[in-house]
Amino acid sequence: MSTVAVVGTGVIGASWAAHFLAHGLDVVATDPASDAEEKLRDDVTAILPPDDAAIDRLRFVADAGEAAAAADFVQENGPEREDVKHALFAVLDEAARPDVILASSSSGLLPSVIARGCPRHPERVVIGHPFNPPHLIPLVEVVPGRDTAPEVVDRAVEFYTSVGKRPIRLSQELPGHVANRLQAALWQEAYSLVERGVATVADIDTAIAYGPGLRWAVLGPFANQHLSGGAGGLAHVLRHLGPPTEAWWRDLGRVHLTPELAETLVAGVDAELAGTDHDRLVAARDAVLDRLLAAKAAQPDLP
């Protein structure tokens, strides 16, 4: 595997491109936006270490077919719209060698639906869903569709592992995959708490970022819950706190994103971040993520 096609070079595509380059691969990128090449080069340069020669392995081409034809692996990052993905995957399927995996970064579309654009080789279409920013967050969700060959899933997992990612394999497709469904469950209750006037947007952000979010960055929800049970572990927690948790579930909110609620949420986050510079906040988040990942890597007792 030496050349990856990065198709669509917006927020996610640019970050993937930098990641693949940093791991020694050649990248052939494409995006139809008029200023796409210049913007991609700026974005990749900002992510790579200063004066990194890896940028010399980035080639920009005019169309998706040309990129796919040159690639050993395709990472698609176009707009999250079924019609766009169909048209794009038809081009990729036509141009790529039959053994080349066509992976979509889609946040929640079903791979079987995306593969409808691929009459030739639907068996090589898979979701390879990263988390923003892909050059920092290790998780990739690998999701097969109805027609995806099991060996394609194996090879995708192997490829992502080889470039330092931490892939998980889903056994079936479903809207939003796994991690975004978990986030959606949390957002549903967070929005509901704001709507009910229980807490402000800023307080809910504090509750997670200075509360359970700190532990979730180290261990997942099950392992954390297991530790909460002391010597009795998860079995004890489920016996002891399971029944009250079931009562909380019955009270959880169900929200609709009405224009009024959206306005309240946006006003809440604006108030929380008033006086904060956007670019400095992103840089601070990324710097802390970097150190956190290094600290985790140095801790052999973590799973």
Ligand X SMILES: NC(=O)c1ccc[n+]([C@@H]2O[C@H](COP(=O)([O-])OP(=O)(O)OC[C@H]3O[C@@H](n4cnc5c(N)ncnc54)[C@H](O)[C@@H]3O)[C@@H](O)[C@H]2O)c1
- Minimal distance, residue 29 CB to ligand X, in Å: 10
CA distance 153 to 170: 9
- Minimal distance, residue 238 CB to ligand X, in Å: 32
Confirm or reject binding of residue 31 to ligand X (CB under 6 A).
yes
Confirm or reject binding of residue 272 to ligand X (CB under 6 A).
no
CA distance 164 to 177: 21
Q: Taking CB under 6 A as the criterion, which residues in 103-162 touch ligand X? A: 105-107, 129-130, 132
Residue 234 exposed, middle or buried by CB count within 10 Å (0-12, 13-18, 19+): middle
What does each C-alpha distance from 187 to 41, 129, 271 come to in angstroms?
A: 34, 20, 19
- Using Cβ positions, the residue closest to ligand X within the complex turns out to be 10
Nearest to 218 by CA among 281, 167, 293: 293
Interface mask toward ligand X for 232-261; x: CB under 6 A: ------------------------------
**How many positions of this chain bind ligand X (CB under 6 A)?**
23
Q: Which one, 129 or 226, has the nearer CB to ligand X?
A: 129
- Minimal distance, residue 115 CB to ligand X, in Å: 15
Confirm or reject binding of residue 24 to ligand X (CB under 6 A).
no
Q: Which one, 180 or 206, has the nearer CB to ligand X?
A: 180
User: 247: which residues sit within 8 A by CB, 6+ positions away?
Assistant: none
Q: How many CB atoms lie within 10 A of CB 128?
A: 27
Q: Which one, 11 or 267, has the nearer CB to ligand X?
A: 11
Percent helix, strand and coil across the chain, each to the nearest 5 = 55, 10, 35
CA distance 221 to 136: 21
Q: What is the amino acid identity at position 141? A: E
Interface mask toward ligand X for 40-79; x: CB under 6 A: ------------------------x------------xxx
CA distance 131 to 141: 9
CA distance 28 to 7: 8
Q: Which of 52, 80, 82, 189 is close enough to bind ligand X by CB under 6 A?
A: 80
Q: Which one, 3 or 105, has the nearer CB to ligand X?
A: 105
Confirm or reject binding of residue 12 to ligand X (CB under 6 A).
yes
- Minimal distance, residue 105 CB to ligand X, in Å: 4
Confirm or reject binding of residue 9 to ligand X (CB under 6 A).
yes
Q: Which of 33, 174, 186, 294 is close enough to bind ligand X by CB under 6 A?
A: 33
Token pair of 220, please? 């997942």
Binding site for ligand X (CB under 6 A): 7-13, 31-33, 64, 77-80, 84, 88, 105-107, 129-130, 132
